[in-house]
Every structure is written in C-alpha cells, then in structure tokens.
C-alpha cells in the first residue's frame, strides 16, 4: 500500500532529546529506541513530557536539542507530512466537514493515490464499521469515532503509528474492549505502535514494552511484568500498582540472597532485585504477595510479626487489610477470597509472611511517597 522507502522503515531512535519552553523543561535529555513492530507505551502522569515526546516524533514540535532517526533517516526537522508516521489524536480530530470515507481516504489522496476504494473499505472492515462510510463524524458515537480515527491512520500503513491517549474519552467498559481490539489490530497489521497514556492498567494490558516517564525523563523501561515485579525506583513502584515500602538495612548476604533487617526482624531477598547503592534500603513488597495468618498458625518464607488489623475492606474477589506494624507503619495486604476462611476481623493479632523472591529493594534515600499522589489527569492539558 504505502510507497514508503525502506530507508524510513526500522527502529525509531530518539537521541538525547531535550525540549524546553522558556524556563520549563518538558523533556530532559531523553534517549530511547523503539524496535520495529513493537507495541510501545509511554506511561506517566500529567505533565511528565510524554505527549511532548510524541508530538516531536510526529513532527508537530521540534526538539530544542537532540535528534530523531527512523531507520537510517534523520527525521528531526522533517515536516509532519514528510514523515511516514501517523497519529491517532486524543480527541480523534476527525474532519467534521468530510464523510467517514473521505476522512479515511484523506491521507491516501494527499499522497496521490487515485484508487482509494479498496484500501478504505478494507480498513473499514478491519474496524468493523463498513456501514458508516457515508456518515459524518458528528453522527458517530465516541467509540465509533475512535475506531475511525484509528482506521484513518493505519490505512496509510505508516512506519510508526502514534496513539495519544486514544481511549481517554471513552467510558471504562468500552475502554477495556478497545484495549483488547487495539492489541489485536496491532498484531494484525504488524505496525509499530507508540502509545501515550497515563493509565498504568491500559499500558500493562497492551504494550510489549513500557517506558515510565516522570518530569521529562524515563524512570524505567521494560516489559509490564519487569516493571511491576522489579521496579527500580519508588516512583515506578507506586505509579504502577501499589507497593509497601519498608525502611531497612542490608545486614549481610547468604548465597544469592541478601539478609535485610526491617525494624529488628530479619528477612531474605534476592540480590538481583536490589537497586540499592548502600546498606540503607526500602524493601518493597506488593500487597497481594503478602499472606496474613493469626498468631500461632504455621507460616513460611519471610515473616513479620506483631501486626494488628486496623481496617478491613471486603471487595468481593479479595479483601483488603490495613495491618499496623510495631514500628507504626500500616501495611496494605490483598487476600484472595478463595480459601473458604472467613476474613479476619479488625483488631486481630496477625503475622505477615511472603515468599522472599517477591521482595525488591530500592535506594534508602528515595522518597517513599513518589508517584502515589499523582494529580488526576486533565486530558486537555499538556
């Protein structure tokens, strides 16, 4: 379909990109390689620079410093229409004066392709809306507009498809459905997708690789499982799901494990999951990795004693507990309601245990609250 030369196919490389607006640095010395054919997510809170990064890739902004390469071609200063890159805009930006058919054919016609019918109809089939071809965008629901915006972009077979919060305006149920469909379409067409979102669940559901951005820089990049199980910073630990971060000290090592002292209680954790620089650490454990048992019942793995249940919230599939520890910290515990045992009660004296492998360690000088209090995203900002 597309007559994009092979020189502009391949991996996308951002090299030491900085973008400043006056005194404000939106993106700071960012380097990133997005492999061809992958589903890549840029995840971060509002104002972290992810949309600015996307706009620089699209050509709608020019980097203050740095270069952008697609394959072997330098596209840093190319105009948007000179790049084999298409965007699905946040609010779809469908042309209100054109029919759905003409919206989708727009890119093909601009590239001088005369016979657009076959391509347009094929992509309308792909998004399952062939019957809407002659409607105007305002006659479509939000979910339909979203699909047409996607169809309008992928019909051009771009080397790179950019998605700017594409599901932000949809309700939760439709969003879930579209997440699965987008993933399916990406496999079907085999294009590189770069997806910008502030929704960690959306990023985890869809992307092969996630780059977590914060204040114009990449905090950590990796597969969803990597980021979740082995976060390197408190921001990542807190922004992707929830974490219990307990102040501790590394006391020594035992084979592949470190021995860590948490307020006088010794635990073990794998060395390869420690991102500490000295002995002072935060030990991190995800709430669903904890097990709760009443004092006196047998336990295994790492054990922390002296807990008392402060709060119980029954959520159906699981029960959420707040457990007050002797050092004054409340730990969060999610227990699956799958063992037929009645939930514990407020005030119960309990022991917390978990598998040592599930522990990760962050630098002890981090802000343990980083990434927890993220301001709710205003979609029209940035």
Partner 1 sequence: MSAPAKQKDASIPTIPLNARISRWFGRNLISIYAVFGFTYLFIPVAYTFAFSFNDSGKSNLVWKGFTLDNWKNPCGAPEVCEALGNSIKIGLLATIFSTILGTMIAFAIGRYAFKGRSSSNLLIFLPMATPEIVLGASLLSLFLVFHINPGFWPTVIAHVMFCISFVVVTVKARIASLDPRLEQAAMDLYANELETFRKVTLPLVAPGIAGAALLAFSLSFDDFIITNFNSGTLKTFPEFVYTSAARGIPAQANVIGSAMFFLALIIVIAGQFVGKKVKVAK
* The pairing of beta strand 85-88 with beta strand 160-164: parallel
Task: Examine residue 107 and tell whether it contacts partner 1 (CB under 8 A).
Answer: yes
Residues within window 293-352 making contact with partner 1, judged by CB under 8 A: none
Residue whose C-alpha is closest to residue 165's, from 209, 142, 195, 144? 195
DSSP, residue by residue, 299-339: --SEEEEEEEEEEEEE-SSEEEEEEE-TTSPEEEEEEES-S
Quick one: which of 52, 53, 87, 238 contacts partner 1 (CB under 8 A)? Answer: 87
Question: How is residue 349 written in tokens?
Answer: 């004296």
In the complex with partner 1, the residue whose CB is nearer, 40 or 106, is 106
In the three-class reduction of DSSP (H, G, I as helix; E, B as strand; rest coil), residue 91 is classed as: coil
Output 102 or 229, the one with its CB closest to partner 1. 102
* Count of residues in contact with partner 1, rule CB under 8 A: 27
Which residue, 43 or 162, is less far from partner 1 as judged by CB? 162
Closer residue to partner 1 (CB): 90 or 200: 90
Cβ-defined contacts of 256-264 (< 8 Å, 24+):
257/356, 258/361, 260/359, 260/361, 262/304, 263/325, 263/326, 263/327
- Strand 280-285 to 318-324 pairing: unpaired
- Binding segment for partner 1 (CB under 8 A), chosen from 152-160, 273-281, 290-298, 368-376, is 152-160
| Residue 138 sits in the site that holds partner 1 (CB under 8 A) | yes
Q: Where in 22-81 is the site for partner 1 (CB under 8 A)? A: 58-60, 79-81
What is d(CA 283, CA 278) in angstroms, rounded to the nearest whole number? 13
Please identify which residue in 13, 78, 111, 291 interacts with partner 1, judged by CB under 8 A.
Answer: 111
Nearer to partner 1 (CB atom), residue 89 or residue 263: 89
Which positions touch partner 1 (CB under 8 A)? 58-60, 79-81, 85-87, 89-91, 93-97, 106-107, 110-111, 136, 138-139, 152-153, 156
């Amino acid at each position: 379909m597309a007559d994009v030369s092979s020189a502009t196919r391949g991996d996308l490389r951002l090299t030491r990109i900085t973008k400043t607006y006056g005194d404000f640095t939106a993106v700071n010395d960012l380097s990133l390689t997005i492999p061809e054919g992958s589903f890549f997510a840029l995840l971060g809170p509002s104002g972290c620079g992810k949309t600015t990064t996307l706009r620089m890739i699209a050509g709608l902004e020019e980097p203050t410093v740095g270069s952008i390469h697609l394959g072997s071609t330098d596209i840093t200063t190319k105009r948007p229409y000179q790049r084999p890159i298409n965007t699905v805009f946040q609010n779809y930006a469908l042309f209100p004066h054109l029919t759905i058919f003409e919206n989708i054919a727009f890119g093909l016609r601009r590239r001088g392709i005369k016979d657009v019918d076959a391509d347009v109809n094929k992509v309308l089939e792909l998004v399952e809306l062939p019957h809407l071809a002659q409607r105007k965008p305002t006659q479509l629901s939000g979910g339909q507009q979203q699909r047409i915006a996607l169809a309008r972009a992928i019909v051009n077979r771009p080397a790179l498809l950019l998605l700017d919060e594409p599901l932000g305006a949809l309700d939760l149920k439709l969003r879930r459905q579209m997440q699965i469909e987008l993933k399916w379409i990406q496999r079907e067409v085999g294009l590189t997708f770069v997806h910008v979102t502030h929704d960690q669940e959306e990023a985890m559901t869809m992307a092969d690789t996630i780059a977590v951005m914060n204040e114009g820089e990449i905090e950590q990049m990796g597969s969803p499982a990597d980021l979740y199980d082995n976060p390197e910073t408190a921001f990542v630990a807190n922004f992707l799901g929830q974490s219990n971060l307990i102040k501790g000290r590394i006391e020594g090592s035992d084979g592949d494990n470190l021995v860590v002292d948490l307020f006088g209680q010794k635990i073990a954790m794998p060395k390869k999951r420690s991102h500490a620089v000295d002995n002072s650490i935060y030990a991190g454990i995800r709430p669903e990795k904890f097990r709760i048992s009443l004092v006196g019942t047998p336990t295994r793995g790492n054990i922390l004693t002296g807990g008392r249940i402060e709060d119980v919230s029954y959520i159906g599939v699981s029960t959420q507990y707040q457990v007050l520890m002797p050092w004054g910290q409340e730990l969060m515990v999610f227990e699956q309601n799958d063992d037929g045992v009645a939930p514990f009660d407020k005030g119960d004296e309990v022991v917390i245990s978990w598998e040592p492998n599930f522990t990760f360690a962050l630098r002890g000088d981090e802000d343990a609250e980083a990434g927890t209090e993220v301001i709710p995203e205003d979609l029209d900002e940035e």
